[in-house]
């Protein structure tokens, strides 16, 4: 048995910039659709399935990192903590079939122990929409999240999923246009592959089942296991109102969801003034390695520091611009990648460029990094007063 200790005194790119962020649920599907759904899962779960969506590597003793392959609809990474008798997985990707695919890979590549816990690091669709695969695939399962994450999933999941499904035809049209303008067979094949992935997402998510967290907490939730202790911690507002990290002190590793990751931050639901302080609070934990929500394993604290300093510097620049009466578009002209000290420091911009999504569209005259910074400027401006 696990001994759960609850304490309430704890201190509080690889992204397609043209994709809307969505998170979600829809019910009501025909028998035919449900059959299609189960068949897709069956294929993902089949022992001979070759459609691996993750690269799994050992990150520490008994801790594994599942890095998501680039997909038309982004999947989160996962952290896999192998306990004495079971497994805890952090985050469940953008769709149940992706989670089913990871379950199969864990059983094949890591351990045959059952997954007993799924942590939702925050409420976003690409970290929660796969929850249901664990409900179907495992005998006993609990979903753990902060109380704000459960509330945000309850309030926003349906509308955000609907937004994502409504956006698919536009994404398909854009890919068809891109393919028609290209003379490269490789480019045409890539676009066709993306279109097939989008159609599969659309079909699967038409009959989505929302699985809300079954265990929630405010500040801290501890799983004490014979193998190690796992501290689930809310350290403050960051990427969303409810981000939590999963910290294993014995293995000196932390899984951070999108509070710390390897791509440009997404700030539309974020708290730009609080986020750097929250990263400082996470940094007080005793870890050497970071399993991020997106991008590669961090074997040092350098990417985390780069992300922290970038959010802080960009927020200061946008705050000063707003006080001077500048518009967002004026700031997007003046706040360039080259002008941001945080981007130039310790190779942060090169690190981001190395990890951007392979599915990024053609960006025109702006570099993908500048396009991302421009998106961030708009979101920081909108959220400057959030605390």
Dmax (CA) for the chain in angstroms is: 61
Share of the chain above pLDDT 70, in %: 84
Q: Is the pLDDT of residue 11 over 60?
A: no
Using one digit for the tens of pLDDT, what is the confidence trace for 194-219? 999 999 999 999 989 999 999 999 99
- Domain positions in the chain are 3-152+208-300, 306-383
Confidence of residue 357 (pLDDT cuts 50, 70, 90): low
pLDDT tens-place string over residues 12-64: 332 332 222 222 222 233 334 334 444 444 444 444 444 689 999 999 999 99
Concatenated DSSP letters for 104-158? HHHHHHT-SSPEEEEE-SSS-HHHHTTHHHHHHH-SS-EEEEEHHHHHHHHHHHH
C-alpha to C-alpha distance for 295 and 158, rounded to whole angstroms: 27
> Could you give the C-alpha distances from 316 to 340, 346, 375, 380, 381, in angstroms and in order?
11, 20, 16, 10, 10
Per-residue pLDDT tens for 148-184? 999 999 999 989 899 889 999 999 999 999 999 999 8
What are the tens digits of pLDDT across the range 373-382? 999 999 999 9
The span from the CA of 161 to the CA of 111, in Å, is 32
Structure tokens at 57: 């590597």
Judged against a pLDDT cut of 80, whether residue 118 lies above it is answered with: yes
> 140 CB contacts (<8 Å, ≥6 apart)?
114, 116
Residue 310, pLDDT > 80, answer: yes
> What is the arrangement of strands in the sheet containing 63-68, beginning at the earlier edge strand?
54-60, 63-68, 78-82, 87-90, 115-119, 142-146, 215-217
Q: Residues near 43 by Cβ (< 8 Å), separated by ≥ 6?
A: 49, 51
The average pLDDT across 124-141 equals 93
What tens digit of pLDDT does each residue of 242-295 get? 999 999 999 999 999 999 999 999 999 999 999 999 999 999 999 999 999 999
Beta bridge partners of 206: none
Beta-strand ranges (E) seen in the chain are 3-7, 54-60, 63-68, 78-82, 87-90, 115-119, 142-146, 215-217, 220-224, 229-233, 245-248, 253-257, 289-292
Q: How far apart are CA 193 and CA 148, in angstroms?
A: 37
Question: What b/e sequence results for 242-280 when a residue is b if at least 16 CB atoms lie within 10 Å of its CB, and e otherwise?
Answer: bbbbbbbeebebbbbbbbbbbbbbbbbbbbbbbbbbbbe
Determine the Cα angle at 29 with ends 26 and 30, to 5°: 175
Per-residue model confidence (pLDDT) at position 364: 62
pLDDT reported for residue 90: 98
Mean pLDDT, rounded, for 224-244: 98
Structure tokens at 212: 């809300």
Angle, vertex CA 161, rays to CA 159 and CA 164, nearest 5: 110
What is the average pLDDT score of the chain?
86
Q: Regarding the domain delimited by 3-152+208-300, which CATH topology (the fold level of the hierarchy) does it fall under?
A: Metallo-beta-lactamase; Chain A (3.60.15)
Which pLDDT value is given to residue 354? Answer: 85
pLDDT given at position 72: 81
Spell out the residues 6+ positions from residue 349 whose beta carbon is closer than 8 angstroms to its own. Answer: 337, 343, 369
Question: Under 8 Å CB-to-CB from 155, ≥6 apart: which residues?
Answer: none
Residue 26, pLDDT score: 25
Q: Is residue 303 scored above 80 in pLDDT? A: yes
Burial state string for 353-367 with b = 16 or more CB within 10 A and e = fewer than 16: eebbbebbbeeeeee
Supply angle C-alpha 154, 159, 164, rounded to 5. 125
Residue 142: strand pairing partners = 117
Could you give phi then psi for residue 40, rounded to 5 degrees?
-65, -45
Query: Any idea how long the chain is?
Result: 387
Q: Of 309, 245, 219, which Cα lies nearest the Cα of 8?
A: 219
pTM of the model: 0.85
């Amino acid at each position: 048995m696990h001994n759960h200790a609850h304490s309430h005194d704890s201190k509080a790119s690889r992204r397609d910039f043209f994709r809307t962020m969505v998170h979600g649920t829809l019910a009501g599907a025909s028998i035919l659709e449900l059959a299609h759904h189960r068949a897709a899962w069956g294929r993902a779960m089949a022992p001979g399935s070759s459609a691996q969506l993750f690269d799994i590597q050992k990150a520490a003793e008994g801790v594994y990192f599942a890095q998501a392959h680039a997909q038309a609809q982004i999947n989160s990474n996962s952290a896999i903590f192998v306990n004495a008798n079971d497994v805890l997985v952090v985050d469940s990707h953008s769709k149940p079939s992706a989670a089913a695919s990871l379950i199969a890979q864990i059983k094949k590549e890591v351990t045959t122990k059952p997954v007993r816990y799924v942590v939702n690091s925050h409420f976003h669709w690409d970290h929660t929409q796969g929850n249901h695969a664990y409900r179907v695939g495992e005998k006993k399962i609990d979903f753990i999240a902060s109380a704000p994450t459960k509330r945000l999933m309850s309030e926003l999941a349906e509308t955000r999923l609907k937004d994502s499904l409504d956006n698919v035809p536009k994404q398909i049209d854009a890919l068809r246009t891109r393919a028609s303008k290209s003379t490269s067979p490789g480019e045409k094949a890539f676009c066709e592959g993306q279109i097939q992935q989008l159609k599969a997402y659309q079909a699967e998510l038409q009959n989505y089942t929302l699985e809300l967290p079954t265990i929630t907490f405010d500040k801290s939730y501890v799983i004490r296991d014979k193998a190690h202790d796992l501290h689930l911690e809310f350290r403050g507002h960051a990427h969303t109102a409810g981000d939590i990290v999963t910290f294993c002190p014995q293995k000196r590793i932390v899984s951070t969801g999108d509070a710390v990751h390897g791509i440009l931050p997404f700030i539309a639901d974020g708290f730009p003034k609080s986020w750097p302080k929250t990263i400082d609070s996470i940094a007080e934990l005793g870890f050497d390695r970071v399993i991020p929500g997106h991008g590669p394993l961090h074997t040092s604290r350098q990417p985390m520091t780069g992300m922290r300093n970038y959010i802080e510097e960009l927020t200061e620049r946008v705050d000063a611009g707003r006080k001077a009466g500048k518009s967002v578009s004026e700031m997007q002209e003046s706040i360039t990648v080259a002008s941001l000290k945080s981007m130039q420091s310790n190779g942060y911009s090169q690190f981001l460029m190395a990890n951007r999504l392979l599915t990024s569209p053609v960006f025109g005259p702006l570099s993908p990094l500048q396009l991302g910074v421009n998106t961030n400027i708009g979101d920081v401006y909108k959220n400057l007063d959030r605390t």
